[in-house]
Amino acid sequence: MQLVLGCDHAAFNEKEALKSFLKALGHDVLDVGTHSSERCDYPDFAQIAVKEIHNKKCLGILLCGSGIGISMAANRFSDIRAALCRSAKEAELSRQHNDANVLCLGARINSIDELKEITSAWLSSSFEGGRHSDRVAKFNQWGTKL
Amino acid sequence: MQLVLGCDHAAFNEKEALKSFLKALGHDVLDVGTHSSERCDYPDFAQIAVKEIHNKKCLGILLCGSGIGISMAANRFSDIRAALCRSAKEAELSRQHNDANVLCLGARINSIDELKEITSAWLSSSFEGGRHSDRVAKFNQWGTKL
């Protein structure tokens, strides 16, 4: 599966660990950075990542310290449905009910093992459609166009 | 404090409990609905709530089953910084680092006691400014204007 991966400095190590994990599972990972622990701004990497996700019509995973800032920034854009998840259960719900195309994670909230578990649950779940489609359609086009 | 409260059917009972809790603390709560457990769509209440939050320049609290859908919809709008929080720690971080003006909660994820604890922590925390201001400024105007 094609996946876009992005983060800020606070999540650099966790992004690297997740990249290795995803590549070992056979996924095609585009890492848009950041590429070091040097201080940077999460909105910059959210913006770069969502453009790639939109262009490639693929899924993406974004990380910052709490996951909160990068989820706010990503959700500003139409067609992006970014779900901040702390557990495998939430990750499944975000695919089943919200058709999330971006998973947001907090490097300072969950351990690397937990981040891998959440990511695996997210990638193996799918959208249920039905009444959830109508709800997603109501807000999906709101926001800045990509 | 003036607070706007909104939810979908899945969080109706929890919204009512939180409303009583907030009123008992002396807050001025504007409840924009939903007003029953009858099935409805979370984007409708996200949109009504963020308009009130923007007009009144106040804080808001939004709930749905997981909190994920309503946080996606609310963050579509410029000037809205909606933080999905599962713990008091995350609630504090969202005020300190992201200047969150909307707290999003999941009625099916946290107990009512936990929702109260998260809300109290959120309301008693404040923005740290500094480098966090620059980051918030980068994405705050993205999205649909209110």
Rg (CA), chain B: 14
- pLDDT digit string, tens, across residues A55-65: 999 999 999 99
Domain boundaries, chain A: 2-140
Name the amino acid, one letter, at B97.
Answer: H
- pLDDT digit string, tens, across residues A112-126: 999 999 999 999 999
Q: Which of B39, B98, B144 has the CB atom closest to A142's CB atom?
A: B144
Interface predicted TM-score (ipTM): 0.98
- pLDDT digit string, tens, across residues B78-126: 999 999 999 999 999 999 999 999 999 999 999 999 999 999 999 999 9
3-state class (DSSP) for residue B102: strand
B64, HSE (Cβ side, Cα atoms, 13 Å):
25
Specify the pTM. Answer: 0.98
Q: Which of A47, A68, A86 has the CB atom closest to B83's CB atom?
A: A68
Catalytic residue status for A64: yes
CATH superfamily of A2-140: Sugar-phosphate isomerase, RpiB/LacA/LacB (3.40.1400.10)
Inter-chain CB proximity B43 and A144 less than 8 Å = no
Inter-chain CB proximity B98 and A68 less than 8 Å = yes
Per CB-CB distance under 8 Å, the chain A contacts of B46 are 139
Best mutation target among A34, A76, A80, A128 (most B Cβ atoms within 10 Å) is A76
pLDDT at residue number B46: 98
Peptide bond into B144 cis (omega under 30): no
Residues B119, A128: Cα–Cα separation, whole Å:
31
DSSP string of A82-130, one letter each residue: EEE-SSHHHHHHHHHHH--SEEEEETTTS-HHHHHHHHHHHHT-----T
- A98: closest CA of chain B, how far (Å): 6
